[in-house]
Amino acid sequence: MNAIYDFSILTGGIHEWLSGLMSPTAVMITEMVIIGTLLIVFVALMGLVLVLAERKVAAFFQLRLGPNRVGPWGSLQTLADFLKLLTKELITTKSADKFLYNLAPFIVMLTPFLALGVIPFAPGLQIMDMNIGVFFITAVSSMGVLGILIGGWASNNKYSLIGGMRSAAMVVSYELSVTLAIMTMVIMTESLSLSEIVASQSDGWWIIKGHIPALIAFLLYLTASTAETNRGPFDLAEAESELTAGFHTEYGGIKFAFFFLSEFVNMLVVASIATILFFGGWMPFHLPFEWAVGFNHIMDFIPGIVWGFGKVTFVIFLMMWFRWTFPRLRIDQILNLEWKYLLPMNLVNFLLMALIALSGFYL
Amino acid sequence: MGNEAIIMLFLTGLVLVGGGIGAAMVLGPKRWNKVKEEPYECGIETTGPSWLQFRVGYYLFAILFLIFDVETVFIVPVATSIKELGVAAFIEVVIFFVILGLGLLYAWKKGALKWE
């Protein structure tokens, strides 16, 4: 990997420059403010881009044009939507539990923020390098369902309650598959730190090195995480045709925008983890063979940030593809799929991966 | 940054959502209307309370989830070090999984996974 693409040179330089100016505490606070501001800008930008991408992808799958009026190629459509939502009146229904009703958007937005903190997007571009990163993300992302459940219950609306309960039953079920699929890969990586997992793939990605169990784990992870982020074909929590808007029926204006944004940021988080575990994060595509040295050198010239975001975009596109291709499932079908198929498959796959790890039958 | 960044991430989320709602409060119109406060229900007036008794199926799945979630916590240390621990650990994991599988099978046969 070329050192010139390493962001830690830039961040280290800023850190040293600030250290020369102020006391360590002031440096820490200043850095926190800078990183926090950048993170908000990043999340807002990703939200705008991903919502537009979703609508464009949906349009192309259905042979429509999609948004094409505001700005070139409809590129400013989501910005206009955001401004419209921002200037809407905030309404709280009279029968709602006021405190919990207003708390739900906070919880829903906090979880992807906490998860984004440990993800390495490019060499050196990681807010905190936690040694239990994978475990932290699993723990934090299971908090997201709380926001949906609280929002659904506190609205005091029958559609919201049904949507929230469905979502709770579904998300907790699929969380098992997500965690087990991740743990299957942890057998190979032998580390819970996301940056170490990326570093272990410098000679090839785990989806190639890990043989068939890695491929099965990827498919299981992709299916389960699509369900965990409440996206179609598992978007029962907000099944429009039967539940109006599900758990966020009573939310309007900017509060609705945060529920909507959190779905897309969650998708980004999930896609980033898939990228890190299976496609080597920001690592370039390397072939683990003797004769491929030249090829590997050429791949090194593409910056890590391009690799990282390129792969994340690919996984997000896969998830959008799912949504606009498969019809929505029923709640009993969804729970059957998890408990009778994915979970037993995951348990067997875990043992298979352990067997491969022990026999040393991997690259 | 070190682990104190969690505080920063937490505050950042609070600032974003709080700022958004605060801005909407300032920018948005405030025209109170009795009908606006009604919960939505197909456009007709709401009938009866919405916080009703709920079907037991959801709770059954929650309990099952609890059992398997604790199991995944046990998996974490095994998964990180199974390459060093070797065959003995693998046999232990197999026994552990067989017990769990029997538990799932029991729940399955008892009809806990059924949805009617």
Least confident segment among A166-175, B60-69, B107-116: B107-116
Provide the percentage of residues in chain B whose pLDDT is more than 70: 97
- Closest partner CB to A93 (pick from B30, B37, B62): B37
Provide the percentage of residues in chain A whose pLDDT is more than 90: 0
Residue A118: predicted pLDDT: 86
Which chain A residues touch B23 with a CB distance below 8 Å? 86, 254
- Domain assignment of residue A150, yes or no: yes
**Does the pLDDT at position A221 exceed 80?**
yes
Average pLDDT, chain A: 83
Q: Rounded distance, CA A75 to CA B48, Å?
A: 45
- Compute the average pLDDT of residues A118-137: 82
**Does the pLDDT at position B111 exceed 80?**
no
For residue A228, give the amino acid letter: E
**Does the pLDDT at position A246 exceed 80?**
no
- Domain assignment of residue A129, yes or no: yes
For residue A116, give the amino acid letter: L
Q: Are residues B10 and A114, on separate chains, in Cβ contact within 8 Å?
A: yes
Which chain B residues touch A161 with a CB distance below 8 Å? 50-52, 54
**Does the pLDDT at position A238 exceed 80?**
no
Q: How far is A145 from chain B (nearest CA, A)?
A: 13
- pLDDT tens across A37-87, in order? 888 888 888 888 888 888 888 888 888 888 888 878 888 888 888 888 888
- The boundaries of the domain holding residue A341 are 89-359
Sorted by where each begins, the domain ranges of chain B are 54-116
- Compute the average pLDDT of residues B26-53: 76
Q: Are residues B75 and A175, on separate chains, in Cβ contact within 8 Å?
A: no
Q: Are residues A156 and B51, on separate chains, in Cβ contact within 8 Å?
A: yes
Q: Rounded distance, CA A221 to CA A301, Å?
A: 30
Closest CA to A175 of B69, B67, B112: B69
Q: Are residues B113 and A336, on separate chains, in Cβ contact within 8 Å?
A: yes
Work out how many domains chain A is built from and give that number.
Answer: 1
- Compute the average pLDDT of residues A178-188: 88
Q: How far is CA A292 from CA A166, A203, A204, A287, in A?
A: 50, 11, 11, 6
Residue B79: predicted pLDDT: 84
- Closest partner CB to A91 (pick from B1, B6, B36): B36
Distance from the first to the final alpha carbon of chain A: 20
Residue A363: predicted pLDDT: 59
Residue A330: predicted pLDDT: 81
Residue of higher predicted confidence among B14 and A91: B14
Q: Are residues A183 and B13, on separate chains, in Cβ contact within 8 Å?
A: no
Alpha helices in chain A (DSSP H): 7-21, 24-61, 77-86, 98-116, 133-141, 144-154, 158-189, 194-199, 206-209, 211-228, 240-243, 253-278, 293-300, 304-325, 331-336, 343-359
Residues pairing with A170 in the sheet: none
**Does the pLDDT at position A125 exceed 80?**
no
Residues pairing with A125 in the sheet: A122
pLDDT interval class at A2 (50, 70, 90): low
Q: Are residues A351 and B97, on separate chains, in Cβ contact within 8 Å?
A: yes
**Does the pLDDT at position B28 exceed 80?**
no
**DSSP track, A217-266:** HHHHHHHHHHHHTT-TTS-GGG-HHHHTTGGGTT--HHHHHHHHHHHHHH
Provide the percentage of residues in chain A whose pLDDT is more than 70: 96
Q: Determine the 3-state secondary structure of A122 from DSSP.
A: strand
Q: Rounded distance, CA B112 to CA B64, Å?
A: 9
Least confident segment among A85-89, A214-218, A296-300, B25-29: A296-300
- Chain B residue whose CA is closest to A153: B51
Q: Which of A331, A339, A343, A359 to mutate to test the interface with B (most CBs of B within 10 A)?
A: A339
- Domain assignment of residue A229, yes or no: yes
- Domain assignment of residue A30, yes or no: no
Residue of higher predicted confidence among A111 and A299: A111
Q: How far is B20 from chain A (nearest CA, A)?
A: 7
Q: Are residues B10 and A110, on separate chains, in Cβ contact within 8 Å?
A: yes
Least confident segment among A35-49, A214-228, A292-306, B67-81: A292-306
**Does the pLDDT at position A268 exceed 70?**
yes
pTM assigned to the model: 0.88
Residue B1: predicted pLDDT: 63
Which chain A residues touch B90 with a CB distance below 8 Å? 351, 354-355, 358
Q: Are residues B8 and A135, on separate chains, in Cβ contact within 8 Å?
A: no
Residues 6+ positions from A282 with CB-CB distance below 8 Å: A120, A121, A122, A123, A198, A304, A305, A307, A308
| φ, ψ at A184 (rounded to 5°) | -60, -40
Q: How far is CA A112 from CA A34, A139, A144, A232, A286, in A?
A: 19, 11, 8, 19, 30
